[in-house]
Amino acid sequence: MNFKYKKMNKTLLVTGATSGFGKAIARRFAANGYNIIITGRRKERLEELETELKSHSGIKVLSLNFDVRNYNEVMSAINNLPDEWKAIDILVNNAGLAVGLNHIDKGVVDDWERMIDTNVKGLIYVTRAVSPLMVERNSGHIINIGSVARDPYENGNVYCASKAAVDTFSKAIRIDLLKNNIKVTHIAPGMADTEFSIVRFKGDAEKAGITYKGIKPLTADDIADAVFYCATLPAHVCINDLEITCTQQANATTNFRKE
Ligand code: NDP
Ligand code: 8X3
């Protein structure tokens, strides 16, 4: 059902909204009448997106500019939300990245720390900050963006471990929050064409392009569709785990590339 332009009186917070999945998710929910909190480190991009989303009539948009790796920044951003923004219905923990692609003996400690601090600790910090607001209202939905990389592939070591942690953390908090009527959904996408590979290869567009050679990957809109579907199911239905790949990808290690 399309609720386009109808005011939903519901609020979504999505981390990492300055690019890729997060931006597409913000757009999808805004187009369907949700109030949106967008977050990310790149302030200018947040400002541009805020202006764009506000063109949907009847919705409110708030930008929060923080680094998910900084616990104090995360807590301060959420604890200082104006009262009208505290009723967060849906949290999408999306901010994340891969940096580098090496065998473990050639790994770079700074790359590992960026991945673990963002994908694991940052996601946990945001969940810690937002979940009490949901518990207080006995209502909410936390959607964590993991990856097919929860199943390991060569050179993926620390990134794969970080996404396995997101998977297990999602299962664990679903148990913790069960009695609080809070849904927890883990979404595990496969290869998708966003800025992800540019970040992984530290700006090397040629290497990033090779990732998708001979493949029609997922798009950010495909993931936004899936998130929207999970978030708009009846109150008694929760998708716990959803793995999505493009048709040319079977799992984390197996693709079929056309010449
Ligand atoms: P993009 O690089 O396009 O977007 C990543 C987003 O994360 C950006 O908005 C970025 O914002 C934000 N982010 C990164 N680090 C931080 C930080 N420290 N603090 C706050 N925000 C941060 O990649 P995708 O959209 O593809 O990635 C989104 C999620 O999906 C990630 O968790 C990724 O691991 C996962 N994923 C991606 C797949 C793919 O193939 N694309 C497949 C499976 C999972 P900013 O830099 O402004 O802070
Ligand atoms: C992103 C997909 O296969 O590059 O998580 O790890 S993959």
3-state secondary structure 121-157: HHHHHHHHHHHHHHHHHCCEEEEEECCHHHCCCCCCH
Q: Ligand 2: which of 120, 196, 219, 246 to mutate, judged by most atoms within 8 Å of the beta carbon?
A: 196
CATH 3.40.50.720 fits 11-244, yes or no: yes
- Establish whether residue 41 lines the binding site of ligand 1, counting it when its CB lies within 6 angstroms of any ligand atom: yes
> How high is the pLDDT of residue 6?
56
Q: Which of 19, 99, 147 to mutate to test the pocket of ligand 2 (most atoms within 8 A of CB)?
A: 147
Instruction: Supply the pLDDT for residue 109.
Output: 98
Can you give the residue ranges of every domain in the chain?
A: 11-244
| Number of the ligand closest to the Cα of 150 | 2
Catalytic residue among 34, 125, 159, 229: 159
Mean pLDDT, 10 residues at a time, the chain of 259 residues: 62 98 98 98 98 96 98 98 98 99 98 99 99 98 99 98 99 98 99 98 96 97 98 98 98 95
Residue 81 phi/psi, 5-degree rounding, is -60, 140
Q: Which residues contact 117 (CB under 8 A, 6 or more apart)?
A: 69
The protein residue whose alpha carbon is closest to atom 12 in ligand 1 is: 16
State yes or no: is 159 an active-site residue: yes
Which atom belonging to ligand 2 lies closest to the Cα atom of 252?
Answer: 3
Instruction: Identify the pLDDT of residue 62.
Output: 98
Q: Find out whether the beta carbon of 230 lies less than 6 Å from any atom of ligand 2.
A: no
Q: What is the pLDDT of residue 1?
A: 45
The C-alpha atoms of residue 22 and residue 34 are separated, in whole angstroms, by 15
Confirm or reject: Cβ of 149 under 6 Å from ligand 2: yes
CB 134 near ligand 1, within 6 Å: no
Whether 208 lines ligand 2, by a CB cut-off of 6 Å, is no
Please tell me the distance from the alpha carbon of residue 167 to that of residue 12, in angstroms, as a whole number.
21
Q: What is the CA radius of gyration of the chain?
A: 18
Kindly give the residue spans of alpha helices, DSSP state H, lying in 177-219: 196-200, 205-211
